[in-house]
Amino acid sequence: MSGPGYLFLGDEEKALVTRALDTWQLNRYRFDETAEPSMVFTLEREFEQRTGAGHCLAVNSCTSALLTALAALGVGPGDEVIVPGYTFIASIAAIVHRGAVPVLAEIDESLTLDPEDVTRRITPATKAILAVHMLGAPAALDELRRIADDHGLFLIEDAAQATGGRYRGRALGTVGDAGAFSLNLFKIITSGDGGLLTLADDAVYERAFAFHDHGFKPMRHGIADADSLFGLNLRMHELSGAVALGQLRKIENILETLRKQKTALSEAIGELPGVERRKLNDPDGECHSFFVLRFETVEAARAVAAKLGTTTLIDSGRHYYGNMPQLISRRMPTASEHPFGCPAHPTEARYEPHMLPRTDDILGRSITLSVGVVDGYLGAGFGITPLSSPDEIAAVATAVKSAVNEVVART
């Protein structure tokens, strides 16, 4: 149960951690001007160089990156943020903790935000669109960027599952006003836990830095001015930075390995009766970490999933809005009782099971096979890994074809 980065941990990461331990440099700051730059500082600069982002800020989780982005962009009580109904719960939690209102929107066959539905859900209270690059593949960023610009909204990219991915030549996290990345155990690269935040605007970066570190200016070069927010402590630890830096330096190898493994699995499976592949907004830009199959009926998808010992995506933990009890209650609350409302900013938002019928239908008919991320909670408990041999890939393909053919023959 891990992501691809974990399987690539090796001597490079160990050497960087050892260098930090040899000098007992455990904090991101260097108060001695003669000391070499910290691992965290170097990680930020190398991530900027790789992605072309104006700024990168390392934090202790992707949730913190999302929270920091929202705070730095001025999203707060009463503001609405459009977010897909298929995402990890952290995307919604970050909005809630800013006192803002998550507005759930439909996904399309790409398993990411449906731009047409986003447009339908914009109101005078809408402040931002939060696009989530689910299962390692980009959302329709051209369309979402245009919608955001036309309506004066911020576009935030949740690239937790898609570090290293691209969209039509641009690195994910750089098309929007902010991009958030995860470094936890199940991601493309890992430091155990941790996150990265990319930002384009200088002033927004200064606000983000202040928010993540008690109101300080970048690199603690003074206290931020009165416009800054009350900051928290969301800093990345130096040892996490060392591991993440080692992983970042091998990300191209990781992504190329995933591409080759997914291509081999796809060719071994071939075309299947009654099954479609996931729509990809940019086939060249995805991370190749999952292989999604969509069936004609919910019954067929569940039958195949059962034979493979996995689940459909609608049953995959806190990634489907209907599996979030914090969001969905049996009795719909009044405006004053709403968990995201307050007397000064009443909201009429409502959350209930099956409120996104298209999302329910697509997720109910879809299963995903692991290629790089092995995570039963995400619905990717069956498949291959970056280290799977050709024989292991062939065996998985045979099992998938057998399950599909048996189910189709019965229907």
> From CA 278, how far away is CA 256, in angstroms rounded?
20
DSSP H helices in 23-179? 39-51, 62-72, 89-97, 115-120, 141-151
Clarify whether residues 301 and 375 are in a common domain: yes
Mean pLDDT of 94-110: 95
Contacts of 403 (CB under 8 A, 6+ apart): 304, 307, 308
pLDDT digit string (tens) for 242-297? Answer: 999 999 999 999 999 999 999 999 999 999 999 999 999 999 999 999 999 999 99
Q: Is the pLDDT confidence value at 216 over 90?
A: no
- pLDDT band for 333, please (50, 70, 90 cuts): very low
Q: Is the pLDDT confidence value at 222 over 90?
A: no
Q: How many residues does the chain have?
A: 411
- pLDDT band for 409, please (50, 70, 90 cuts): confident
Q: Is the pLDDT confidence value at 107 over 70?
A: yes
Q: Is the pLDDT confidence value at 328 over 90?
A: no
Mean pLDDT of 171-197: 98
Clarify whether residues 295 and 194 are in a common domain: no
Chain CA centroid to CA 323, Å: 18
DSSP H helices in 213-327? 238-248, 251-269, 298-308
Integer distance in angstroms from the first to the last C-alpha of the chain? Answer: 34
Q: Which two tokens stand for residue 282?
A: 């940019």
Query: Per the confidence metrics, is the pTM higher than 0.75?
Result: yes
Residue 375 is classified by DSSP as B
Residues with active-site annotation: 187
Mean pLDDT of 3-24: 95
Mean pLDDT of 400-410: 92
Mean pLDDT of 194-216: 95
Answer for the pair 334, 343: CB distance below 8 angstroms, yes or no.
no
Mean pLDDT of 17-24: 93
CATH number assigned to the domain comprising residue 132: 3.40.640.10
Of 216, 251, 286, the one marking the end of a domain is 251
Q: Is the pLDDT confidence value at 337 over 60?
A: no
Clarify whether residues 234 and 304 are in a common domain: no
Clarify whether residues 247 and 276 are in a common domain: no
Clarify whether residues 283 and 233 are in a common domain: no
Q: Is the pLDDT confidence value at 42 over 50?
A: yes
Position of tokens 């730059």? 37
Measured between alpha carbons, how far is residue 311 from residues 197, 230, 299, 304, 328 in Å?
32, 43, 12, 9, 21
Q: Is the pLDDT confidence value at 358 over 50?
A: yes
What is the extent of the structural domain holding 301? 252-410
Clarify whether residues 95 and 33 are in a common domain: yes
Clarify whether residues 44 and 155 are in a common domain: yes
Q: Which two tokens stand for residue 166?
A: 């691209």
Clarify whether residues 166 and 282 are in a common domain: no
Contacts of 49 (CB under 8 A, 6+ apart): none
Clarify whether residues 75 and 114 are in a common domain: yes
Contacts of 200 (CB under 8 A, 6+ apart): 53, 54, 55, 174, 177, 178
Q: Is the pLDDT confidence value at 335 over 60?
A: no
Position of tokens 């991530």? 47
> From CA 200, how far away is CA 60, in angstroms rounded?
20
CATH number assigned to the domain comprising residue 294: 3.90.1150.10
Pairing status of strand 290-295 against strand 101-105: unpaired
| Whole-number pLDDT of residue 43 | 98
Of 251, 281, 306, the one marking the end of a domain is 251
pLDDT digit string (tens) for 128-143? Answer: 999 999 999 999 999 9
Of 195, 217, 251, the one marking the end of a domain is 251
> From CA 25, how far away is CA 35, in angstroms rounded?
10
Which DSSP helix (H) or strand (E) runs through 359? Answer: helix 357-364
Answer for the pair 212, 205: CB distance below 8 angstroms, yes or no.
no
Q: Is 225 exposed, middle or buried (0-12, 13-18, 19+ CB in 10 A)?
A: exposed
| Whole-number pLDDT of residue 1 | 77
Residue 372 is classified by DSSP as S
| Whole-number pLDDT of residue 332 | 43
Q: Is the pLDDT confidence value at 226 over 60?
A: no
Q: Is the pLDDT confidence value at 224 over 80?
A: no
Phi-psi region of 248 (alpha: psi -120 to 50; beta: other; left: phi over 0): alpha
Residue 322 is classified by DSSP as G
Mean pLDDT of 140-153: 98
Average pLDDT for the chain: 92
Clarify whether residues 31 and 138 are in a common domain: yes
Q: Is the pLDDT confidence value at 331 over 60?
A: no
| Whole-number pLDDT of residue 330 | 38
Mean pLDDT of 104-117: 98
Contacts of 255 (CB under 8 A, 6+ apart): 164, 188, 287, 288
| Whole-number pLDDT of residue 377 | 92
Domains in the chain: how many in total?
Answer: 2
Clarify whether residues 174 and 290 are in a common domain: no
Answer for the pair 118, 141: CB distance below 8 angstroms, yes or no.
no
Clarify whether residues 90 and 117 are in a common domain: yes
> From CA 314, how far away is CA 364, in angstroms rounded?
5
Q: Is the pLDDT confidence value at 71 over 70?
A: yes
| Whole-number pLDDT of residue 338 | 52
Q: Is the pLDDT confidence value at 54 over 80?
A: yes
Instruction: Please spell the DSSP secondary structure of 40-82, one letter per residue.
Output: HHHHHHHHHHHHT-SEEEEES-HHHHHHHHHHHTT--TT-EEE
pLDDT digit string (tens) for 364-377? Answer: 999 999 999 999 99
